[in-house]
Structure 1
Amino acid sequence: MIALFWISFFIIFYAFIGYGILLYFIIKIKRAVKGKPVLPAADNLPTCTLIVAAYNEEIFIAEKIKNSLELNYPEGKLQLIFITDGSSDKTADIVAKYPGVIHMHSAGRKGKMAAVNRAIASVTTDVMVFTDANTFLNNDAIINICRHYADAKVGAVAGEKRVLITEKSDATAGEGFYWKYESKLKVWDSELYSVVGAAGELFSVRTDLYEHVPPTAIIDDFMISMLIAKKGYRIVYEPEAYAMETASEDVKEELKRKIRIAAGGLQSVIWLKSLFNPFPLPILSFQYISHRVLRWTVVPFLMIALVGLNIAIVHANGGAIYQLFLAGQVAFYGMSLFGWMLEARQVKIKIFFIPYYFCMMNYAVIRGIFRYLSGKQSAVWDKAKRK
């Protein structure tokens, strides 16, 4: 039991904290030897197409188009494609009013990837940038992304997601904290070798490297970028290209989103099983397993096992260290439970929402795993409500 306890604790600690610590020291050593990486100049930027798939986004779509038209990029090198397939509200009508936008619409709803692939068939530019309809980009986002393609080894670029936390969004304060930590890990991942996947809020790929993912893909953005990484190209992280969106309306909506991502995470682990072989791309495999696979598979179950093992060891007259561990676990989960109770009453004490959000994320992984294995997770996006 003691051996299982320490193995479980090490894997949990490594997945969430230890990998970050290890990356920090690796990057420190790398910078001491090679110096800090220099950003490429924004010269001779490639031609680019911004692709936005919008389904029933009448609330955001006009502002999204305005934001897209105001993006800085060399004249004549950027085109905008908005696909509104299946939208039953005024989204398609609103997009049709803007002559500076290529509008594609089909009455049937076949899913996001079917819409995106239809648009990609008409793309002739060097690079494609994908962004969500309910996010807004900083003015230099496309320039900051596309400058990285001066390096022939770069096959994709991931932008940064920034969560706008308002006074009314304290219930999801953990979401902002989580993304800040994730962003730092991505900076170090990118500097070591490659980011492990990209998020759909903002990412880019070389057009000639794009590979169609199956329509059953649940987290298509992650798969698109990782299929390029599998070919030996790097995914660079660019924090100065960011997409801003509000937090989920409440934790219930955030949980719905996390369960879907978790189901897609397990699907991706199965589809990308070749990356478990470290010999073709050793650094990528190390990053992928450390940053993604552990969190999306065994860690939530090990968290449950750790509590049970800790109780059993203390019951069997384990030493003081195990009693302290148990007290720490009880305190942490107690704070999480208290955060859940406060959230239900809309009481704003942020310190309790970070452990609550952490536990909610891991609960979502367990739910997502069972949903995927039961075949109940659709690839059609059921978007979470946002503030």
Structure 2
Amino acid sequence: FIIHRLRVGKWAGQSTLALPDVEPQDLPQMTLVIPAWNEELLIEDKLSALAQQEYPRHKLEAIFIDSASTDNTVDLVKTWLVENPTAFADFIIIEMEKRLGKTAAIAQAFGSAALSSEILVMTDVDARLDPGSLLRLGAWFSNPEIGAVGATPQRFTTNSGGTGAGAGTDVSRVTSGGHGLTEKIYRDMFTIQRLGESARDSTPFLEGSLMGIRRTVYSDSTLDTNSNADDAQLAVAARLAGLRAIQDPALIFREPIPPTYGEHKEQKVRRAQGLQRLLWRNRSHWFSRNQGAWGGIMGVQGIMHLLIPWIVLAGCVFAVLKWCLLLTGLELNIFIITTLVIDGWVFGSWLLHRFALRLPLTSLPATFLDSMNALLIAQFKLLSGDSMHLWEQGVGVRKAWLEEK
């Protein structure tokens, strides 16, 4: 973990990636997909925000796909289109008869894109894009080496004093609950890895809140619709097609950190399971010489997501056994004392952050243990047959956006 963190930091500092300078008339034909399920709180604001994006309208097709919502989402979309008839030149509504998960929705929408579309893009309803995001995303694909591009997240919360539409720009804001700080640290490390991997070769993980893929990379068999992490699946598909999958540090989307620990944990475990399933399906590429640097990246990610959590669990079990033996009279020595100090630092840091008590030198071990906890839960669920590709919506995140308005 530490070695990879140092490597990606070095790679990111040596990046030669540069956004191509593209005239509007040379931008590719784009299909923009907005998947939704029970999004009545945010869907109108999302459509209004997308309508303000600067992209040649004759080159932009929008597809809204609804996963059998049980609220007023679809009616609100139809009403919005009547009230804003010129917002999009080409807008398609797809209503799924049954909720099958986001990956299945994306697969159906991508399969319904106009044959003239060169770039397939998706964006989540709860993500807000910077002005010019679609222009920047489209410009990357004038480089024939690029197969997939993802945006960089800036996450915030609404219960720490910020208000108004611009409050979300301050990513240093964290919740009064401990999970906000650990999530920020984790996401910062996650972003550094993605940027470093992109600079070196390609990243296997992109953010589906805003990402695009070259149409020639995609086929009906690209996505496993019984799994989640559709964004990472697309990133891997792009690299296996011989192209690069990159995260752009200047292509920004904003979304709230889940305001409660329960919602935060559910989101993190669901994401972890999707990545684990993807890495396992592609284990033949781990450290593959045929895949160059990307093979090494895949191997390291596979070890970190699938093997390290079990090593950490074993370490925790041995730590508990050691404490039990101490109670029965185990003789202390330098090694035992050292491990006791490490145990106290790691477990104490995690407990402090769970109760929103922050002390120096506790953030990193708390974040690491929180991530390992999520990865283990994800694997236990998977081994028990509990697939999380049908997500439960984070209502707290939606309400947080309403507070930001």
Classify the TM-score, shorter chain: 0.7 to 0.9
Gaps in structure 2 of 5+ consecutive residues: 161-174, 401-405
User: How far off is 1:181 after superposition?
Assistant: 2.2
CA contact (8 A) 2:151 2:247 kept: yes
What TM-score do the two structures reach when normalised by structure 2? 0.81
User: How far off is 1:216 after superposition?
Assistant: 0.7
SS of residue matched to 1:139: coil
Gaps in structure 1 of 5+ consecutive residues: 1-14
Within-5 A mapping of 1:316-331: 319=334, 323-331=337-345
Within-5 A mapping of 1:130-141: 130-141=122-133
Residue 159 (1) aligns with residue 151 (2): yes
Within-5 A mapping of 1:59-208: 59-97=41-79, 98=81, 99=85, 100=88, 101-124=91-114, 125-168=117-160, 169-171=175-177, 172-208=180-216
Cross-structure match for 1:337 = 351
Within-5 A mapping of 1:261-300: 261-276=271-286, 278-290=288-300, 292-300=301-309
The verdict on how the C-alpha distance between 1:354 and 1:23 changes in structure 2, with shifts beyond 3 A counting, is closer
Residue 231 (1) aligns with residue 241 (2): yes
Q: Select 2:374's aligned residue among 356, 364, 374.
A: 364
The alignment-based identity, stated in percent, is: 21
The verdict on how the C-alpha distance between 1:63 and 1:110 changes in structure 2, with shifts beyond 3 A counting, is same
User: How far off is 1:195 after superposition?
Assistant: 1.5
Q: Distance in 2 between matches of 1:138 and 1:271?
A: 34
Q: Select 1:254's aligned residue among 246, 264, 270.
A: 264
The verdict on how the C-alpha distance between 1:334 and 1:79 changes in structure 2, with shifts beyond 3 A counting, is same
Q: Select 2:252's aligned residue among 220, 233, 242.
A: 242
User: How far off is 1:199 after superposition?
Assistant: 1.9
Aligned-partner residue type, residue 94 of structure 1:
L
The verdict on how the C-alpha distance between 1:303 and 1:47 changes in structure 2, with shifts beyond 3 A counting, is same
Q: Distance in 2 between matches of 1:318 and 1:155?
A: 56
The verdict on how the C-alpha distance between 1:205 and 1:325 changes in structure 2, with shifts beyond 3 A counting, is same
Q: Distance in 2 between matches of 1:45 and 1:215?
A: 30
Aligned-partner residue type, residue 154 of structure 1:
I
User: How far off is 1:23 after superposition?
Assistant: 2.7
User: How far off is 1:261 after superposition?
Assistant: 2.0
Deviations 1:196-245 (A, max 9, x none): 22121111101121133122122222112212212221102112222211
Answer with 299-308 or 91-100: which moved more.
299-308
Cross-structure match for 1:55 = 37
Answer with 349-358 or 192-201: which moved more.
349-358
Q: Distance in 1 between matches of 2:105 and 2:44?
A: 20
Q: Distance in 2 between matches of 1:110 and 1:202?
A: 21
Aligned-partner residue type, residue 33 of structure 2:
I
Q: Distance in 2 between matches of 1:305 and 1:370?
A: 15
Cross-structure match for 1:3 = none
Deviations 1:60-100 (A, max 9, x none): 10110011111122342222211113011111011112133
Deviations 1:352-379 (A, max 9, x none): 6664443222111111101111111242
SS of residue matched to 2:18: coil
Cross-structure match for 2:389 = 379
Q: Distance in 2 between matches of 1:60 and 1:117?
A: 23
Within-5 A mapping of 1:338-353: 338-340=352-354, 342-343=355-356, 349=358
User: How far off is 1:46 after superposition?
Assistant: 0.9
Q: Distance in 2 between matches of 1:18 and 1:250?
A: 32
The verdict on how the C-alpha distance between 1:282 and 1:319 changes in structure 2, with shifts beyond 3 A counting, is farther
CA contact (8 A) 2:183 2:367 kept: yes
